[in-house]
Amino acid sequence: MIEEFLTEADMGSYRPPVIEAIRTQVRKNSDRLRKYGLDESIYLDPQKTDLLLVKTAGDWMKQEYGKPMPHKLFGDFWLEGELCILFADTNLGKSILAVQLGNNLAQGVCTGNLNNQMDAQTRVLYIDFEMGSKQFESRYFDRQWGSFPFGQTFYRAEFNPEAENPALYENYGDYLENAITAAIIKTKAQVLIIDNLTYMASGTERAGEALPLMKKLKAIKAKYKLSLLVLAHTPKRNATQPITVNDLQGSKMIMNFCDSAFAIGKSHTRADTLYLKQVKHRSSKKLYDEHNVCLCRINRELSDLHFVFDGYAQERQHLKKEVRETRAQQKAKALLLKGQGLTYREICDETGVALSTLSRWLG
């Protein structure tokens, strides 16, 4: 025992290692609490410290009994309190639709014939990582009619390039999260729209990037009791196939954490026509699946750039038609490839024709 080698004077200042370890942990806990402006009293409230809240199923039912059903913000596409993902390929109008939704919520009007049950003057914060202020202004300005009259409770925020000061934050993710929460508090937002997810994490196609990002968004939504719409991109997809959850960049992890999701698709059979399709829902009805997509188009009236809704259709009616070569074209191609010295197996891979058929054709 180390105590046997200590003098009487040393014993007065000596602390066993276990005590030192406890003191060190207490100091770390105190430093962490001070960092976030908290004190030790937080440990007295399990609601703020327990990661898992455990109750009987019956108690959970009693807790929710009598509470109102969530309001619709955009029909059954997006409900109050949900973290919803809107995704599409580039240049299909994600931002146009998102601005239209945000402004309509602030003004208390419906978007097309899709129900908005929120009160007028709903406070909406649109965080725009895509466009600068001049680009935004040019979309909603007409030389004759001036600027579009947005609702008084529709707020827009954009990236400040002069705020890149590394001394202000430990890492960029924390800085961005703090900036978003500060904007929520400043505007007293009830609805938050983020355009877009790619800016917040460059590697959303990887689970290691997507998981912490979605956790942060869920935490922000819960803490400030928000309805949250996040825009996201799709990688290049096969336009002959229906849109699915797998078409969202980083789909698996993102879809696990969101409450609902819908996509904008492009019609390949009708000019200037787009369609909206539900790909995930938890609380709403699935009304707009592949059998009943919502047709729409982008329209400008004076200084108002917005989506107009044109009825419903089956998704397959608007997919790109798969081009199939005729039998004669396949045979001619096979003969050409044989003349170039390719093997039967290579010709089979190139044309998609069965090996037995090629043997008959090429003898």
CATH 3.30.70.120 fits domain 83-318:
no
Q: Please tell me the predicted confidence (pLDDT) of residue 8.
A: 55
Encode burial over 118-153: b for 16+ CB neighbours within 10 A, e otherwise: beeebbbbbbbbbbeeeebeeebeeeeeeebebbeb
285 — phi, psi (to 5°)?
-80, 150
In tens, the pLDDT along 268-307 reads 999 999 999 999 988 777 899 999 999 999 999 999 999 9
Can you tell me whether residue 280 is helix, strand or coil? strand
Q: Please tell me the predicted confidence (pLDDT) of residue 203.
A: 47
Q: Is the pLDDT of residue 158 over 70?
A: yes
CA distances from 339 to 80, 332, 342, 362 (A): 65, 11, 8, 11
Contact between 148 and 107 under an 8 Å Cβ cutoff? The reply is no
The helix (H) or strand (E) run that includes residue 86 is strand 83-88
Q: Higher model confidence: residue 328 or residue 84? A: 84
* Look-up of token digits 């590394």: 166
Least confident of 15-29, 112-126, 155-169, 254-268: 15-29
In tens, the pLDDT along 7-18 reads 555 555 666 777
Q: What is the DSSP string of 107-174?
A: HT--BTTB---SPTT--EEEEESS--HHHHHHHTEETTTEE----TTEEEEE--GGG--GGG-SSHHH
In tens, the pLDDT along 329-341 reads 888 888 888 888 8
Output the six-digit token pair for 348: 């089979």
In tens, the pLDDT along 27-72 reads 777 777 777 666 676 666 666 667 788 889 999 888 888 888 899 9
| Domain edges within the chain | 2-49, 83-318, 327-362
**Among 37-41, 118-122, 158-162, the range of highest mean pLDDT:** 118-122
Q: Name the E strands within 235-354.
A: 260-266, 274-280, 293-301, 304-313
Across the range 125-146, mean pLDDT stands at: 94
Distance CA 257, CA 253 (A): 7
Least confident of 184-188, 216-220, 245-249: 245-249
Across the range 140-150, mean pLDDT stands at: 94
In whole numbers, what is the pLDDT of the chain averaged over residues?
Answer: 85
Q: Is the pLDDT of residue 167 over 90?
A: no
